[in-house]
Amino acid sequence: MNEETTAYQEALNYIYSFVDYSLTRNLQFSPEKFDLNRMVVFLERLGNPHKQYPVIHVAGTKGKGSTAAMIASSLRTSGYRVGFYSSPHLSVFNERIQVDGTPIDSEVLVDLVEEVKPVVAQIERLTTFEITTAIGFLYFARQNIDVAVVEVGLGGRLDATNVVDPLVSVITAISLDHVAVLGDTIAKIAYEKAGIIKPGRPVVMAPQHDEARQVIEQVSQERGCPLIEVQKDFAYQPVSHSLEGQAFNLSKNGALQAEDFHIPLLGLHQIENAATAYAALQIARDQGLKQISAQAIRKGFAEVQWPGRFEVLRRDPPVIVDSAHNRDSAHRLAQALEDYLPGKPVVLVFGASEDKDLEGMFAELLPHVRYLVATQSVHPRAMDVGKMIELARNYGCPGEAVLPLENALAVALERAGKEAAVVAAGSLFIAAAVRDTWHKWQAESAALPEQKQE
C-alpha cells in the first residue's frame, strides 16, 4: 500500500469513525441523533459553502437517485458546471461527491478531511453523513460550480442536506421504507420527505399514493409554494423498450405537441423518474438557469449513467443487477422482468438488510423466480440467510443459502445455465457486490463465469 493509498484509507477511517446510522441496527428517531442545528453551526464555521451556488434538492423513497442523475446529466449538457451529491455509493466512496460526472479525487478528499478536522472537533455528535455532506458542499464551492444537484440521504425534514435553500424541491415516489425512523405509514413518511419544501420555493412532485399526495399538497400550500404535479402538469407516455433502453414522449399540460426522449435506464418507473426530472429542469430554467433547452435535456437523458438499477451486465443469457430493497421497488422490478424478459425463468441472487420488509419483497418477486440463492453482502445489518430460505419455502420457491457472495453468484450462474436469467437484488450492497464480482471475473478471464465452475 503506497503513501497516497494509506492517506486515503485513513481519511475514510476518520469519516467512518463517527456515528453512521446507515450501519446501525434498530435505529430509532430522536432529536439528539437528528438535529439540523449542529449542521448549521458546522457549515457556518466552514464559511457556508452551500450558499455559494444554486441547488436542486431531491427527496423520495424510490427513484430520487435516478431522477437526480438525469437532472445533473441534463444540466451538464446545457453547459453548466454541475456538482452532484448522492448516497450511498455503489463501488467507491468518492462517487458520492462529483463535479461534471467525475468523482472527487482521493488526494483532494484527503486534504478536505484534514481541513474540516479542527471544526469537527468543536462540535459534538456530528455523524458520518453530516461530515460527508459538509465536505461535499465545500468541494463544490472550491470547484466553482454553477449549480448543485443534492440527493437527500434519509427522510428530508431532518436530513443533513436540508440546510439548502433550493431553486426547486423535488419529491419522487414515496413508499414504506425506514419505518423505524420515518414512520409506519405513507402519510408519516411523506411528512418527513415534505420537510425539504421551503417557503415560496416551487415543488415538483412525482405521481404518489393519495396519502402522500395530500400531505405534500398541504405542506406546499402552507408554505406558499407552487406545486407542479408530474402526469397532471407534465404528462408522459411510453413508446417502446428493449434491453438497449426505452423511448417515451413528454408534454407540458396545454402543449400542442409532445417531445420525444430516449433513456438507457430500464423499467417503466424510470420514465416516471425522467418526467419528474424534466419537470424540475423546466422549473429550474424559470428560476434562472436559462441555458436549459429541450435539446440539452434530450442529450442529457440519452447520456445518463446510473448503474445498479436494472442494469444489464450480460444480455444472453441475461445477468441483471437491481437495487430493489423494499416492497414497492420489488414490485417495480417484477414489472420490469415481465416487460423485458417475458416468460424467462429467473434465478434470484438475494440479500437484504434485516430491517427490510422481506415478506413484502418476496410476495412481489418470488412468483417470478424459479430458484433462490440467498446470500449476504459485507454489511453489519445483513439479514440471516437461513431466514430468507425458510420464508421462501412458504412461497413454494426452492433455494439454498450460499456464502460468500462470489460463490452465490457462481452457484446462480450454474443453476441458470443457458436457459434462465440471473437477477441480483435486495439491496444496493448486493447489486454493487455482484456488479464488482462480475467485472472482476471479466477482467481476469475471457471465459464465461459459469464455465469456470465446470
For every residue of 92-140, DSSP letters joined together read: -GGGGEEETTEEPPHHHHHHHHHHHHHHHTTSTT-BHHHHHHHHHHHHH
Q: Going edge to edge, which strands form the sheet with 245-252?
A: 234-242, 245-252, 259-263
Task: Give bridge partners of residue 227 from the DSSP assignment.
Answer: 203
pLDDT score of 27: 45
Please give the span between the terminal C-alpha atoms of the chain, in angstroms, as a whole number.
35
What are the tens digits of pLDDT across the range 280-298? 999 999 999 999 999 999 9
What are the tens digits of pLDDT across the range 134-184? 999 999 999 999 999 999 998 899 999 999 999 999 999 998 765 656 677
Are 400 and 431 members of one domain?
A: yes
Are 280 and 358 members of one domain?
A: no
The pLDDT confidence band at residue 100, using thresholds 50, 70 and 90, is very high
pLDDT score of 451: 42
Number of structural domains (the chain) is: 2
Average pLDDT of the segment spanning 20-38: 61
Are 389 and 288 members of one domain?
A: no
Are 63 and 159 members of one domain?
A: yes
Q: What is the CATH number of the domain that holds 379?
A: 3.90.190.20
What are the tens digits of pLDDT across the range 51-62? 999 999 999 999
What percent of the chain is modeled with pLDDT above 90?
A: 86
Are 160 and 86 members of one domain?
A: yes
Per DSSP, which regions of 172-258 are E strands? 203-205, 227-229, 234-242, 245-252
The pLDDT confidence band at residue 1, using thresholds 50, 70 and 90, is low
Are 253 and 388 members of one domain?
A: no
pLDDT score of 31: 46
Are 264 and 131 members of one domain?
A: yes
| pLDDT exceeds 70 at position 354 | yes
What are the tens digits of pLDDT across the range 16-27? 999 876 554 444
Least confident of 92-96, 180-184, 322-326, 436-440: 180-184
Which amino acid, residue 313? Answer: L
| pLDDT exceeds 80 at position 28 | no
Least confident of 49-63, 82-96, 157-171, 245-259: 245-259
The three-class DSSP label of residue 305 is coil
Are 209 and 60 members of one domain?
A: yes
Average pLDDT of the segment spanning 238-250: 97
| pTM for this predicted structure | 0.94
For every residue of 43-73, DSSP letters joined together read: HHHTT-GGGSS-EEEEE-SSSHHHHHHHHHH
Work out whether strand 102-103 and strand 97-99 pair parallel, antiparallel, or are unpaired: antiparallel
Are 162 and 276 members of one domain?
A: yes
The closest alpha carbon to 207, from 63, 363, 336, 86, belongs to 63
The pLDDT confidence band at residue 381, using thresholds 50, 70 and 90, is confident
pLDDT score of 255: 78
Query: Which residue range(s) make up the domain with 84?
Result: 3-303
What are the tens digits of pLDDT across the range 4-15? 889 999 999 999
What percent of the chain is modeled with pLDDT above 70?
A: 93
| pLDDT exceeds 90 at position 92 | yes
Of 303, 334, 354, at which residue does a domain stop? Answer: 303
Which amino acid, residue 141? Answer: A
Compute the Cα dihedral for 157, 161, 167, 172 and give only its sign.
negative
Are 446 and 384 members of one domain?
A: yes
pLDDT score of 29: 46
Q: What is the CATH number of the domain that holds 292?
A: 3.40.1190.10
**C-alpha radius of gyration, the chain, whole number:** 22
Are 66 and 197 members of one domain?
A: yes
pLDDT score of 55: 98
Of 242, 269, 303, at which residue does a domain stop? Answer: 303
More confident residue, 355 or 341: 341
Average pLDDT of the segment spanning 372-391: 92
Q: How many CA atoms lie within 13 A of 301 on its CB side?
A: 31
Of 280, 303, 326, at which residue does a domain stop? Answer: 303
Average pLDDT of the segment spanning 252-261: 86
Mean pLDDT of the chain: 93
The pLDDT confidence band at residue 253, using thresholds 50, 70 and 90, is confident
Are 262 and 360 members of one domain?
A: no
What are the tens digits of pLDDT across the range 187-224? 999 999 999 999 999 999 999 999 999 999 999 999 99
What are the tens digits of pLDDT across the range 402-439? 999 999 999 999 999 999 999 999 999 999 999 999 99
